[in-house]
A and B are shown apart, each in its own frame.
Chain A
Amino acid sequence: MNDAASAPMIQLRQVVKRFKTGAGEYMGLRGVDVDIFPGQFVAIVGKSGSGKSTMLNMITGIDHPTSGEVLVNGVNIYKMTESERSLWRGHNLGIVFQFFQLLPMLTLVENTMLPMDYCNVFSPLERPERAMELLKMVGLQEQAHKLPAAVSNGQQQAAAIARALATDPPIIVADEPTGNLDSRSSEEIIELFNQLVLQGKTIILVTHDPSITKRSTRTLILADGKIINETVAKALPLLTHTQMLKVTQLLEHKEIPAGNTIIYKGEHIDYFFMIAEGEVEIVFKPAKREELTIARLGEGEFFGEVELVHGGNSIASVRAAPERSVKLIALHRKDFSEMLVGSPLTEEAISRIVQVRMAENRSVDRRGRWW
């Protein structure tokens, strides 16, 4: 899941954010742990009020966590003063807002030059040239000397992206960047983000737009101030966010060394397993015949559901793939049953998979193969 050996660029450690309002306390984030690696295109999704913008504010240093740590490139940004953090942000983060937030008294090119002025990057003579290059990149060279009020919303957002890139920061953060745009403009903006990923930028954005989540390398779902386990979200997409969160909270984590058996054929099974990292092999040994690896399951796939739904003992052995250890998350039989009761759609989907796998099993049994 992470990009190989590289260290995380952004780390959130047990981040809690409590807001005090007139109506009492309100938990924005309830102990969030996330690692984001260089070059990732991370989409943060969640319902309104789930804490996604709060989480973004933690990453950008716009708001203080009540407890926990935020490290960006190894730096604890909450040990800086607000003013130091601003400068740090100018150098390290480019921020794109839903409502563009271009300063209305500056032309597009002046808006683009502003972060360079504030952070004193590039020589004063180079700044106009760089700003024009960035505007050209986002297709605005013709509009460079116009005031924001004189261009369309899509063009304003493109200019805001140019501004976010002005100091050449490694991270671009965007909050609903297409939330206020028509579909054509949205498409152009998403395309710009794609290009930035190709250039090696790390991109984190909060969005409701499925066309963005589809293209992201990673999707973080927030519900009720917590991050939903990414494997659960992938394996059980038909659960509601609240159900996913509930499942996340009931999970048991297991790590199995490479080649070790997880389930033996004929064994009684009490867990529903989802693969978080690595691969497992489904192994079948027909009577008096050589053992057969009939399938490899990878990240986001699951096993054990046939026995839990259909009853009976394991119909095949499952072991960690020989190349590397495998990380599993397991849901107890009782919790699994409750989950299915709560989500008929998931039950139906899993039943279909069970039927398919059962049919396949019978056919392998006949042909000496699993499916």
Chain B
Amino acid sequence: MIRPRWRKVLSDLWDNKMRTLLVVASIAVGVFSIGMIAGAYEIISKDMSASYASANPANIDMRTDDFNQDLIDSLSNVDGVKEVEGRRFFSVRARVPGEEWTNLDLVAINDFNDTHINLLLPLQGSPYPADKQVILEGQALDNLPVEVGEEVEFQLPNGNIKKMTIVGFVQDQTTGAGDFLAPPLGYVTLDTLPWLGQPTEYNRLMVTADGDSNDIEHIREVSSSISDKIEKSNRQVYRTELNKTNEHPMSSTVEAILGILMALGILIVFLSSSLIANTLNSLLTQHLPHIGVMKLIGARSQQIFGMYIVLILSFGLIALLIALPAGGQAAYTLSEYIASKMNFNLQGYRIVPLAYLLQIIVAILIPLAAGFIPVNNGSRVKVQEAISGSGLSAGKASYGWLERLGSRVKWITRPMLISLRNTFRRKRRLLLTLLTLTIGGAIFIGVFNVQRSLEDFITKTEKYFIADVTLNFDRPYRVDEINQAVMDVAHVQHSEGWAFVSADIIRPDDSVANYLTILAPPVDSKLIEPIMLEGRWLTPGDKKAITVSEAIWSDFPDLKAGDQLKLKISGQEDEWTVVGIFRFISRDQVIGYATYDYISELLSLSNQAFSYRIVTEEHTLEYQNQMSATIDKYLRDLGYHVSETQAGLSTLETASESLAILINFLLIMALLTALVGSIGLTGTMGMNVMERTREIGVMRAIGATDAQIMKTVIVEGMIIGVISWFLGAIFSFPITLLLSRIISLAIFNSPSEFVLNPLGFIIWLGLVLILSAFASVLPARSAARLTIREVLAYE
């Protein structure tokens, strides 16, 4: 037999189902988010790298001049090299006949049966393409919706279009894993290359290191030996990427983003605790007469306190029952989503004990903490205070600014005044509600600002890519000659030759700190508008002078403009003066600029260049692609050895797309926060209506229609919404700063600037008005449905 007081606790739980639901939902939302994010964090941080390692990723990935099996054989003898393989990468455009073109990198592999590095995982169809067949990386499907057996058109760098059959899909977890900007991949055999207008040679070297393949210094040493050997074979290394075997290149980025989500999750817990405090406050107010009666018949404060604490624990337990499995499931679903976006595989469904533990702690402790004050105050109330009152609540007697507003502003009607004054009647409740909505709004606006600041960042980065077409040859040509030839193509406005060279940055102890790609535009080039952080840009006559991107600071944190930097170019070490440091998107790679005159002289290629930058009449990606193809074909027809033509905006386009995914993700979180905010508002409005049923009855009795009652409640909700918008707009500033700093550091390794996006403010205003109207509609409807007899109940 249950003792009567516990029976009361049970009936408190059961009788007012709506309230129980509200409290349980408030707790469950927080417990759920924590479980989901903590679980996903744990799953992803373990599985991402494990999955990556399982594909035996290349520790060294080099872009070089063309090479063949002979070089591979000789490199396999280099100290520290475990496996070496070659690939040929080249860019094409692909489409299902009649559909839109999409960018794709084709990768040629000699023997699909005998690859050991960057392993491909078969997904569907054949894992080995035959001659003139293609297999696609699974993610290519996002832009190229095809099925196995279908034919796809490929536009080659020379403009020709070839058709090939898609024979299978594979997953490539490793190639380009660290590059947000990498286009999707397709794979062909080496034998197919001549048909595609490509030499049967490699231009990409994949190497795994012997020994500790998770020691980046060791990998760098091996890489240094390899690049020495390549350079000795009269080939240049254009770009080198180093990766550990057991760490996904994006893991730190993903962890940073999950960190943000975790912070948002904690925030949601915090917000939900304010909902709990609100609901419990109202519950205790409603229960005052019960408390009075219990005290009247001998209950002590402690006993009452105990009863309500048990009630709160019951709320927590019910919430836990719902949120624990749901959070675990959502953690796995979220991990699956991230895994599919980041192209890795999970090790299967599992329970994360740490996440469960966190959920249990949150479900028990947060409601207790939130409920302590209201329960403590409620259980100490005096009997006389507890049992009194049958009319409307007394209200305040003092005449304040809200009352003056009513008498001074003549156009405010009384129903409007009721909404306005009701808003401020329960100040603590209002404060807690505002807190949730404000933070939700601040994050929402912040995400828009961050999006704008990231876009701005990209737009500024475009200033490094002003040229519409980048043209590369596989041998140097005289600059005047190529410029003349290119200017003959219709719609070309300007052309200039750029030199470039790869360098090792040498530490004082003579070890290699990093690689540096030096681009050398003409000193008066208009095709680059750098954002200088320190020092100056290049000036005519600069010798051994270089500007470097800010990524240099990760290796040389104290480097200033004017300092010396030891560079090794073509085997020769020399001290260079860093004349300026500029901002650039870069993860690990340092980029430098020097004058064309000096670099071409250094390379003994005066007045010649491998690479050209071309300006056309229009600057859209579409037009640039078209012009690239035209120029490419024109020069090939003239007998020039073009290795690659590329539209200027293509890289940035891919970058924006990747950012869009991230921004959408953040927006979803912001909407979730807003949702918690509006659940809070619904709760508040529900409690307000519940407490004011008598007043609503009176309004009905003196002539208020359904619409008028609903309007009173909805306007009150919307006033709260508007106040929260103002506060949210203010708090969005620090949140924007924080978010954009964390995100741009995670993605670009450099902080972006603070930018305001009015769109975020406007959309949130609209949204908060809609949300608050919706949040009030339910309580308003139930208010309108109350019959007067219920609320005035005379007898």
Contacts and interface: CB of A to CB of B under 8 A. Distances in A.
B792 A97 contact: yes
A10 to B, nearest CB: 17
B787 A63 contact: yes
A57 B422 CA distance: 28
A119 interface: yes
Interface in B82-102: none
A146 B399 contact: yes
Nearest to A53: B794
B394 interface: yes
A104 interface: yes
Interface in A95-131: 95, 97-107, 110, 113-115, 117-119, 124
A93 to B, nearest CB: 9
A163 B406 contact: no
B703 A101 contact: no
Nearest to A101: B698
Contacts of A124: 413
Interface string B398-416: 1100010011000001110
B703 to A, nearest CB: 2
Q: Which of A90, A105, A107 has the most CB of B within 10 A?
A: A105
Interface in B400-449: 403, 406-407, 413-415, 417-418, 421-422, 425
A119 B787 CA distance: 19
Interface in B753-795: 784-785, 787-789, 792, 794-795
A81 B393 CA distance: 29
A293 to B, nearest CB: 50
A279 interface: no
B702 A163 contact: yes
A95 B421 CA distance: 24
B415 A105 contact: no
B396 A149 contact: yes
Query: Looking at B695, B702, B785, which has the most chain A CB atoms within 10 Å of its CB?
Result: B702
Contacts of B394: 104, 148-149
B391 interface: yes
Contact of B415 (A82, A118, A148): A118
B397 A147 contact: yes
A238 B702 CA distance: 39
Given A62-B787, A95-B702, A103 B392 contact: yes
Nearest to A85: B700
B395 interface: yes
Given A62-B789, A103-B695, A106-B417, A149 B397 contact: yes
B425 A63 contact: no
Contacts of B391: 97, 99-101, 180
Interface size class of B (residues with CB under 8 A): 35 or more
Given A99-B391, A104-B392, A86 B414 contact: no
Contact of B703 (A56, A63, A87, A105): A87
Given A53-B794, A53-B795, A90 B704 contact: yes
A97 B413 CA distance: 24
Interface in A36-73: 48-49, 53-54, 56-57, 60, 62-63
B791 to A, nearest CB: 10
Contacts of A90: 702-704
A136 interface: no
A114 to B, nearest CB: 4
A111 B419 CA distance: 14
B794 to A, nearest CB: 4
B473 to A, nearest CB: 81
A56 B399 CA distance: 36
Contacts of B794: 53, 56-57, 98, 175
B701 interface: yes
Contacts of B787: 62-63, 82
A166 B785 CA distance: 25
B638 interface: no
Contact of B789 (A63, A101, A103): A63
Interface stretch (B306-314, B491-499, B545-553, B705-713): B705-713
Contacts of A319: none
Contact of B705 (A54, A87, A103, A145): A87
A86 B698 contact: no
A98 B271 CA distance: 42
Nearest to B794: A53
B71 interface: no
Nearest to A98: B794
Contact of A110 (B396, B417, B695, B789): B417
A119 B415 CA distance: 12
A31 B784 CA distance: 30
A178 to B, nearest CB: 15
A330 B396 CA distance: 59
Contacts of A100: 391-392
Interface residues on A, range: 35 or more
Contacts of A164: 702
A150 interface: yes
A117 B407 contact: no
Given A98-B794, A105-B421, A147-B397, A117 B700 contact: no
Contact of B407 (A53, A91, A145): A145
B699 interface: yes
B390 interface: yes
A101 B417 contact: no
Nearest to B707: A83
Contacts of B414: 106, 110, 113-114, 117
B399 A54 contact: no
Interface in A138-194: 145-150, 163-164, 166-167, 175, 180
A87 B700 CA distance: 8
B702 A106 contact: no
B392 A101 contact: yes
A83 B784 contact: yes
Given A86-B700, A99-B390, A101-B694, A148 B395 contact: yes
Most B C-beta atoms less than 10 A away, residue of A54, A62, A91, A146? A62
A120 to B, nearest CB: 9
B11 to A, nearest CB: 13
B716 to A, nearest CB: 11
A107 B406 contact: yes
A89 interface: yes
Interface in A173-221: 175, 180
A308 B792 CA distance: 50
Contact of B422 (A83, A84, A105): A105
A90 B414 CA distance: 15
Nearest to A49: B795
B705 A99 contact: no
Contacts of B703: 86-87, 89-91, 115, 118-119, 167
A147 B403 contact: yes
B705 A86 contact: yes
A103 B695 CA distance: 6
A87 B701 CA distance: 9
B101 to A, nearest CB: 61
Contacts of A95: 701-702
A83 B414 CA distance: 19
B594 to A, nearest CB: 74
Contacts of B695: 101, 103-104
Interface in B647-706: 694-695, 698-706
B418 A103 contact: yes
A49 B695 CA distance: 25
A83 B425 CA distance: 27
A148 B392 CA distance: 10
Contacts of B698: 97, 101, 103
Contacts of B415: 114, 117-118
8 contacts: A53-B794, A63-B788, A86-B700, A89-B702, A102-B392, A104-B392, A146-B397, A148-B395
Given A62-B789, A148-B395, 8 more contacts: A53-B794, A62-B787, A86-B700, A86-B706, A90-B703, A106-B417, A107-B406, A114-B415
Nearest first, the 4 closest Cβ-Cβ pairs linking A and B are A90-B703, A104-B395, A99-B391, A83-B706
